[in-house]
Structure 1
Amino acid sequence: MARIRAGEALAPFRVLDLSRVRAGPTCVRMLADFGADVIRVEPPPGVDANDNMFVDSREGGDFQNLNRNKRSLTLNLKRPEGVALFKRLVKTADVVVENWRPDVKTRLGIDYESLRAVNPRIVLASISGYGQDGPYAKRPGFDQVIQGMGGLMSVTGFPGQGPVRAGLAVADSSAGLYAALGIFAALLERERSGQGQWVHTSLLHAQIAMMDFQAARYLNDGAVPVQCGNDHPSASPMGLYRASDGHLNIGAAGGGNWRRFCEALDRTRWLADERYATDAARIANRAALSAEIEEVFATATVQHWVDLLNRAGVPAGPVYTVPQVFEDPQVRHMNATAQAVASSGKTCTFITQPVHLERTPGSVQAAAPDCGEHTDEVLREAGLDDQEIRALRELGVV
Structure 2
Amino acid sequence: MTLGNAATQGALQGCKVIDLSRVLGGPYCTQILADHGAEVFKVEPPTGDETRGWGPPFLDGTASYFLGVNRNKLGLALDLSNPDGKAFLRALLQDADVLVENFKPGTLEKWGLGVDVLQQAFPQLVHCRISGFGADGPLGGLPGYDACAQAMCGLMSVNGDADGEPTRVGLPVVDMVTGLNAALAILLALNERHRSGLGQFLDITLFDCAISLLHPHAANYFLSGNIPQRTGNAHPNIAPYETFRTARGDIFLAVGNNRQFELLAAELQHPELAADARFQSNADRLKHRKALGEILGRLLKQHEAADFAQILLKKGVPAAPVLNVEELLQHPHTRHRGMVLEKDGYQAIASPIKLSRTPAGLRSLPPAFGEHTEAVKQALGLPEP
Q: TM-score interval w.r.t. the shorter chain?
A: over 0.9
CA distance in 2, matches of 1:49, 1:98: 13
Residue 219 of structure 2 corresponds to 216
Residue 90 of structure 1 corresponds to 93
User: Residue type matched to 2:167 in 1?
Assistant: V
CA distance in 2, matches of 1:79, 1:52: 23
Q: 375, 380, 384: which one pairs with 2:378?
A: 380
CA distance in 1, matches of 2:288, 2:339: 40
CA contact (8 A) 2:119 2:125 kept: yes
Number of aligned positions between the proteins = 380
Q: 327, 346, 349: which one pairs with 2:347?
A: 349
Residue 16 of structure 1 corresponds to 18
CA contact (8 A) 1:5 1:11 kept: no
CA contact (8 A) 1:87 1:115 kept: no
Q: 43, 46, 63: which one pairs with 1:44?
A: 46
Q: 124, 142, 145: which one pairs with 1:139?
A: 142
Q: 224, 239, 242: which one pairs with 1:239?
A: 242
Deviation of 1:253 (Å)? 2.7
Q: Does 1:358 align with 2:356?
A: yes
SS at match of 2:341: strand
SS at match of 1:275: coil
Q: Does 1:369 align with 2:379?
A: no
CA contact (8 A) 1:21 1:54 kept: no
SS at match of 2:106: helix
TM-superposition CA deviations, 1:191-210 (whole Å, max 9, x none): 11000000121111101101
User: Residue type matched to 1:367 in 2?
Assistant: L
SS at match of 1:276: coil
CA contact (8 A) 2:149 2:206 kept: yes
User: Residue type matched to 2:43 in 1?
Assistant: V
**Structure 1 pair 327–55 and aligned structure 2 pair: CA distance change class (3 A):** closer
Identity %, equivalent residues? 35
SS at match of 1:125: strand
Farther-moved stretch of structure 1 (61-70 vs 182-191): 61-70
CA distance in 2, matches of 1:105, 1:269: 67
User: Residue type matched to 2:380 in 1?
Assistant: A
User: Residue type matched to 2:360 in 1?
Assistant: G
CA distance in 1, matches of 2:107, 2:70: 23
Residue 313 of structure 1 corresponds to 316
User: Residue type matched to 2:82 in 1?
Assistant: R
CA contact (8 A) 1:338 1:351 kept: yes
CA contact (8 A) 1:101 1:137 kept: no
Farther-moved stretch of structure 1 (298-307 vs 356-365): 298-307
CA contact (8 A) 1:340 1:366 kept: no
Residue 182 of structure 2 corresponds to 179
SS at match of 2:215: helix
Farther-moved stretch of structure 1 (281-290 vs 221-230): 221-230
Deviation of 1:50 (Å)? 5.8
Deviation of 1:302 (Å)? 1.4
Q: 186, 191, 197: which one pairs with 1:188?
A: 191
CA distance in 2, matches of 1:249, 1:50: 37
CA distance in 1, matches of 2:241, 2:76: 50
SS at match of 1:93: coil
Residue 27 of structure 2 corresponds to 25
TM-superposition CA deviations, 1:287-309 (whole Å, max 9, x none): 11111111111112113321321
Q: 334, 338, 344: which one pairs with 1:331?
A: 334
SS at match of 2:326: helix
CA contact (8 A) 1:69 1:364 kept: yes
SS at match of 1:200: strand
Q: 59, 62, 65: which one pairs with 2:62?
A: 59
SS at match of 2:107: helix
CA distance in 1, matches of 2:18, 2:181: 18
Q: Does 1:152 align with 2:150?
A: no
Residue 230 of structure 2 corresponds to 227
**Structure 1 pair 255–281 and aligned structure 2 pair: CA distance change class (3 A):** same
User: Residue type matched to 1:69 in 2?
Assistant: N
Q: TM-score, normalised by structure 1?
A: 0.91
Deviation of 1:84 (Å)? 2.3
User: CA RMSD for the aligned pairs?
Assistant: 1.8
CA contact (8 A) 2:51 2:66 kept: no
User: Residue type matched to 1:96 in 2?
Assistant: L
Please, which runs of 5 or more residues in structure 2 have no aligned partner?
none
Please, which runs of 5 or more residues in structure 1 have no aligned partner?
342-346, 392-398
User: Residue type matched to 2:17 in 1?
Assistant: V
Residue 305 of structure 2 corresponds to 302
Deviation of 1:166 (Å)? 0.5
CA distance in 2, matches of 1:195, 1:220: 41
Residue 170 of structure 1 corresponds to 173
CA distance in 1, matches of 2:53, 2:111: 21
**Structure 1 pair 55–86 and aligned structure 2 pair: CA distance change class (3 A):** farther
**Structure 1 pair 50–245 and aligned structure 2 pair: CA distance change class (3 A):** closer
CA contact (8 A) 1:90 1:118 kept: no
Q: Does 1:249 align with 2:242?
A: no
**Structure 1 pair 172–5 and aligned structure 2 pair: CA distance change class (3 A):** farther
TM-superposition CA deviations, 1:86-118 (whole Å, max 9, x none): 112111111110011111111112222211222
Q: 276, 279, 282: which one pairs with 2:282?
A: 279
Deviation of 1:254 (Å)? 1.1
CA distance in 1, matches of 2:174, 2:302: 40
CA distance in 2, matches of 1:234, 1:224: 14
Q: TM-score, normalised by structure 2?
A: 0.94
CA distance in 1, matches of 2:169, 2:347: 24
CA contact (8 A) 1:150 1:208 kept: yes
